[in-house]
């Protein structure tokens, strides 16, 4: 039986991505941030669409999430929709930053996951009085001409 091969077409064009990195342990987080930004640009995310925010440490994560929600840069619903991706990134980062045992990894990952969830609560509270998102605009004639005919 041959292995099953799963491939995805990863295209980041038009996506807005926020990267929040701590200044604490900068020699590690700077390298991780550089790798993340470089990979996002390789996937087609424009440099202007990447927002990089530096915080003193991980405990400021919920405040930054609420701040971004209040400024309507990222909606609280987006944090909820991308929860699985955020959990994966936090667990992988915890595995990379701790010794090879699962106990230290969990001791780092569980508080980070809790901070993310608390950030969602703060984002909901911060964006409570924001107006709903407007409906998407219809494509221009130039964009319609660029679409392949089916």
**8 A C-beta contact, residue 61 and residue 23:** no
Backbone angles phi, psi at 51, to 5 degrees: -105, 120
Alpha carbons within 13 angstroms on the beta-carbon side of residue 75 total 8
pLDDT of residue 120: 94
Where do we find the tokens 């990379």?
96
Q: How far apart are CA 133 and CA 33, in angstroms?
A: 30
pLDDT of residue 118: 96
pTM of the model: 0.66
Backbone angles phi, psi at 54, to 5 degrees: -105, 130
pLDDT of residue 133: 64
Angle among Cα 46, 52, 54 to the nearest 5 degrees reads: 170
For residue 39, what are its two tokens? 């990979």
Domain-wise residue ranges, the chain: 15-56, 59-128
pLDDT of residue 110: 94
pLDDT of residue 142: 64
pLDDT of residue 116: 93
For every one of its 150 residues, what pLDDT tens digit does the chain have, with 9 covering 90 and above? 778 777 777 777 887 788 888 888 888 888 888 988 998 888 888 888 888 889 888 888 899 989 888 888 788 888 999 899 889 988 988 888 888 889 999 999 999 999 999 999 999 998 887 676 677 777 666 655 655 655
Of the candidates 87, 83, 84, 82, the residue with the CA atom closest to the CA atom of residue 106 = 87
pLDDT of residue 150: 52
Q: Return all residues near 44 (Cβ < 8 A) that are at least 6 apart.
A: 11, 12, 13
The distance between the two most distant Cα atoms of the chain, rounded to a whole number of Å, is 57
Backbone angles phi, psi at 134, to 5 degrees: -70, 155
């Amino acid at each position: 039986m041959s292995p099953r091969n799963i491939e995805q077409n990863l295209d980041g064009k038009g996506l807005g991505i926020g990267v929040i990195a701590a200044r604490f342990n900068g020699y590690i987080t700077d390298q991780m941030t550089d790798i993340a930004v470089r990979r996002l640009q390789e996937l087609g995310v424009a440099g202007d669409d990447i927002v990089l925010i530096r915080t003193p440490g991980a405990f400021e994560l919920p405040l930054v999430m609420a701040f971004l929600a209040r400024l309507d840069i990222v909606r609280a619903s987006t944090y909820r929709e991308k929860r699985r991706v955020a959990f994966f990134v936090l667990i992988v980062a915890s595995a990379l930053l701790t010794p090879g045992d699962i106990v230290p990894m969990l001791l780092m990952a569980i508080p980070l996951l809790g901070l993310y969830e608390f950030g969602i609560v703060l984002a909901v509270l911060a964006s409570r009085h924001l107006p709903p998102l407007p409906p998407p605009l219809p494509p221009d004639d130039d964009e319609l001409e660029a679409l392949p005919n089916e």
